[in-house]
């Protein structure tokens, strides 16, 4: 049996069926012990009824696309979002979904809430895979709304799922309308994080929960194997620099917890998961996570650099092509034990 991403679904014994942690659960925090590294250090390349679910709440320009750098981009507010929305990028986003899902211990969220009869908003839903899996897991949830700028989500979805095509950084309608708001992998896409967090507070029902899942975007190693000249490290640093030049924080995840508390959320918790880049760990699950993480860089580096490096950093096409090849080569190295972090921060609006 496979999940919507085409990945082998975990067995019933491998993961809880209700996705709910015990009230005092601290979450499956991943610690990577450098003594359990797979020491096969040879560099290799083994990475190897229909619903009309769309609601457009802004002008028809939301449906427009722009073609440049050999890729398809969303043209609405193109200055805010610098990455493609075509099929190769959608495949990369689904790989990222798998990395998050496996890193969180085969869970879609960690907030202690039962979603039966509840209304859910998924900010920046992308391909819609998180919302669709949630709809399958919680058929008794009243409504799951996936919000995104690009209409790239499928039309065949669980009956309690719909997609809203809108800009989450504009004003929202219907205050106090959701029981749970989820946001994932949005660092590098949002200009005003404090405003977004305040909007989440305003649109949660009293007692409702918000959860942000995002990466720190800062690579490191614990054994000194990550050289400052490593090109995957340079990739992430340059992406943070490019986003910063256009006013978008490229590494906001470490600040989200403080902003939730500042906005008035209570019961705020943060869980940190170490994510390897590459198939170097011995542990089978971490090896899988690392392989998918490296693969999304290998197959996605062109989309990550095409607009950001040329239009913002001023690189030539030739410079970008050479650099991308170096990134791919460094992603395949098993003698470099680099990693980054996924941070999951959730909090509750007071009753």
- Give the start-to-end residue ranges of the domains of the chain: 49-348
Residue 117: left (phi > 0), alpha (psi -120 to 50), or beta? left
Rounded CA-CA distance 224/289 in Å is 21
Q: For residue 267, which of 276, 277, 257 has the smallest C-alpha distance?
A: 257
The residues, ordered by sequence, that sit 6+ positions from 237 with a Cβ below 8 Å of its Cβ are: none
Cα distances (angstroms) measured from residue 75 to each of 79, 90, 346: 9, 17, 32
Question: Could you tell me the two tokens for 250?
Answer: 């490229």
Helix axes of 231-245 and 317-331: crossing angle, nearest 10 degrees: 130
Rounded CA-CA distance 206/266 in Å is 11
* CATH code of the domain made up of 49-348: 3.40.50.150
HSE-up of residue 105 (Cα within 13 Å, Cβ side) = 21
Q: For residue 85, which of 13, 34, 153 has the smallest C-alpha distance?
A: 153
Handedness of CA 61, 67, 72, 75 (dihedral sign): negative
Helix axes of 87-103 and 284-307: crossing angle, nearest 10 degrees: 150
Contact 254, 246 (CB under 8 A): no
What distance lies between CA 108 and its chain's CA centroid?
Answer: 12
Cα distances (angstroms) measured from residue 294 to each of 92, 287, 323, 331: 11, 10, 16, 6
What distance lies between CA 109 and its chain's CA centroid?
Answer: 12
Angle at 248 between CA 247 and CA 251, to 5 degrees: 130
Cα distances (angstroms) measured from residue 187 to each of 111, 211, 276, 324, 342: 20, 14, 19, 22, 11
Phi, psi of 338 (to 5 degrees): -90, 160
Question: Could you tell me the two tokens for 42?
Answer: 């040879």
Rounded CA-CA distance 135/150 in Å is 20
pTM (two decimals): 0.83
The radius of gyration of the chain from alpha carbons, rounded to an integer in Å, stands at 20
* pLDDT digits (tens), the chain, 351 positions: 434 333 343 333 333 333 433 333 333 344 444 445 554 544 444 334 333 444 444 444 456 678 889 998 876 544 567 888 889 999 999 999 999 999 999 999 999 999 999 999 999 999 999 999 999 999 999 999 999 888 889 888 999 999 988 888 888 877 779 999 999 999 988 999 999 999 999 999 999 999 999 999 999 999 999 999 999 999 999 999 999 999 999 999 999 999 999 999 999 999 999 999 999 999 999 999 999 999 999 999 999 999 999 999 999 999 999 999 999 999 999 999 999 999 999 999 999
């Amino acid at each position: 049996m496979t999940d919507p991403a085409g990945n082998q679904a975990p067995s019933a014994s491998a993961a809880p069926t209700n996705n709910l942690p015990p009230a005092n659960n601290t979450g499956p925090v991943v610690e990577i012990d450098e003594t359990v590294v797979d020491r096969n250090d040879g560099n290799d390349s083994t990475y190897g009824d229909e619903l009309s679910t769309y609601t457009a709440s802004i002008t028809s320009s939301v449906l427009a696309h722009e073609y440049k750098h050999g890729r398809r981009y969303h043209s609405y507010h193109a200055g805010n979002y610098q990455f493609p929305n075509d099929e190769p990028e959608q495949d990369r986003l689904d790989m990222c979904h798998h990395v998050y899902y496996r890193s969180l211990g085969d869970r879609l969220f960690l907030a202690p809430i039962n979603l039966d009869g509840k209304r859910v908003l998924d900010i920046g839903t992308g391909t819609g895979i998180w919302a669709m899996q949630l709809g399958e897991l919680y058929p008794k949830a009243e409504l799951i709304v996936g919000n995104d700028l690009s209409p790239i989500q499928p039309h065949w979805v669980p009956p309690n799922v719909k997609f809203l095509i809108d800009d989450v950084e504009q004003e929202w309608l219907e205050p106090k309308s959701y029981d749970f708001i989820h946001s994932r992998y949005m660092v590098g896409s949002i200009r005003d994080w404090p405003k977004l967090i305040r909007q989440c507070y305003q649109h949660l029902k009293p007692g409702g929960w918000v959860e942000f899942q995002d990466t720190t975007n800062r690579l490191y190693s614990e054994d000194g194997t990550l050289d400052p000249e490593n090109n995957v490290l340079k990739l992430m640093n340059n992406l943070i620099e490019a986003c910063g030049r256009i006013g978008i924080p490229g590494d906001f995840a470490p600040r989200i917890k403080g902003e939730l508390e500042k906005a008035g959320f209570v019961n705020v918790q943060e869980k940190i998961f170490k994510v390897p880049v590459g198939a170097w760990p011995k542990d089978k699950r971490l090896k899988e996570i690392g392989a998918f993480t490296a693969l999304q860089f290998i197959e996605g580096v062109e989309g990550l650099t095409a607009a950001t490096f040329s239009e913002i950093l001023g690189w030539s096409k030739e410079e970008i092509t050479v650099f991308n090849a170096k990134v791919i080569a460094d992603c395949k190295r098993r003698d470099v034990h680099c990693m980054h972090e996924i941070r999951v921060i959730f909090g509750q609006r007071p009753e």
